[in-house]
Amino acid sequence: MFVTAIFSIKGGVGKTAAAVNLATLASMTGDKTLLIDLDPQASSTFYLKVKPRIQTTVKKLLKKKSPIEKHIKATDFIHLDILPASIDFRAFDPVLGKIKRPVDRIKEMLEPLEDKYRWVFIDCPPGMTLLAEAIFSASDLLMIPVVPTTLSVRTYNDFREYMSKHPLKTGSRYLGFFSMSDRRKNLHREILDNWDYQKEFFSEISIPYLSDVERMGVTRKPVVSFRPASEASHAFAKLWAEIKKAAGSSGSLEN
């Protein structure tokens, strides 16, 4: 089981679109795939046409008194399941703050799924929180979407500074990528062209800002499903190839 978390300190960076499309691409290989929606906004859950409701409390879920398997739902994609989010997931941080070993809880919650899923993707809520730390501990790869704007780049630098003081577990790594990029905008083009991709632990794959991606909210389908020939779909496919590379090799993306 390889766990990839799509994380950003900042919201509005295309995090959920990336999580849904990457998980869908993984499932299209025929491998059993799980998307875990931990964002109380439940956008991934909405995109995949699943009701944002889970029949337990966050506390029971974290303490494994309510097994995670009971709450996983099927999607319209044969090899893709989802753990749906709900507004109740806003309680993750308060609950984690009151239990022992909070940073280990997401990893322990996922342990029963080890033999069931080849790929697990986590759509994380924004912010550097206790839940974020627990997700980092459970993940093999963190994918960090960054919009090519001053504030988004700044939050990526903040994330890297945090990582320098709180390294990931041995064998885990992170990789940034540009999201919602628009070369028609001078600032976007300037940042994209002058970025030091190797120094910044960054993929050279950029997800374009296109109406195809925005229409996910209307179609309630991943763009790789309803517009597979789209430029955005091709970009997500290339990013998925980066994840497979990370899962199959050691050292190529080390931080």
* pLDDT tens digits, 110-154: 999 999 999 999 999 999 999 999 999 999 999 999 999 999 999
Helix count and strand count (H, E) for the chain: 12, 8
Query: Using CA of residue 145, residue 149, residue 155, residue 158, what is the dihedral sign?
Result: positive
Q: Which residue has the tokens 């995949």?
A: 48
> To the nearest 5 percent, what fractions of the chain are helix, strand and coil?
45, 15, 40
251 pLDDT band, cuts 50/70/90, is very low
The pLDDT, as a whole number, for residue 249 is: 58
pLDDT value of position 87: 87
Tokens of 98: 């009151």
Structural domains in the chain, CATH included, are 2-247 (3.40.50.300)
Model pTM greater than 0.85?
yes
Asked which of 11-20, 82-91, 137-146, 241-250 is least confident by mean pLDDT, the reply is 241-250
pLDDT at 56: 81
pLDDT at 248 over 70: yes
Nearest 5°: phi and psi at 191? -65, -45
How far is Cα 189 from Cα 180, in angstroms, rounded to an integer?
12
Distance from C-alpha of 244 to C-alpha of 2, rounded to nearest angstrom: 9
Which tens digits make up the pLDDT trace of 154-202?
Answer: 999 999 999 999 999 888 999 999 999 999 999 999 999 999 998 889 9
Those residues whose C-beta lies under 8 Å from the C-beta of residue 154, and which sit 6 or more positions away, are: none
**The pLDDT of residue 51:** 85
Q: What single DSSP character describes residue 81?
A: E
User: What length is written for the chain?
Assistant: 255
- What was the pLDDT predicted at 54? 78
Rounded to whole angstroms, the Cα distance separating 243 from 246 reads 5
Burial pattern 45-83, b for ≥16 Cβ within 10 A else e, equals bbbbebebebeeebbebbeeebebeeebeebebebbbbb
28-68 pLDDT, tens digit per residue, is 999 999 999 999 999 999 999 998 777 788 888 888 888 89
Q: Is the pLDDT of residue 250 over 50?
A: no
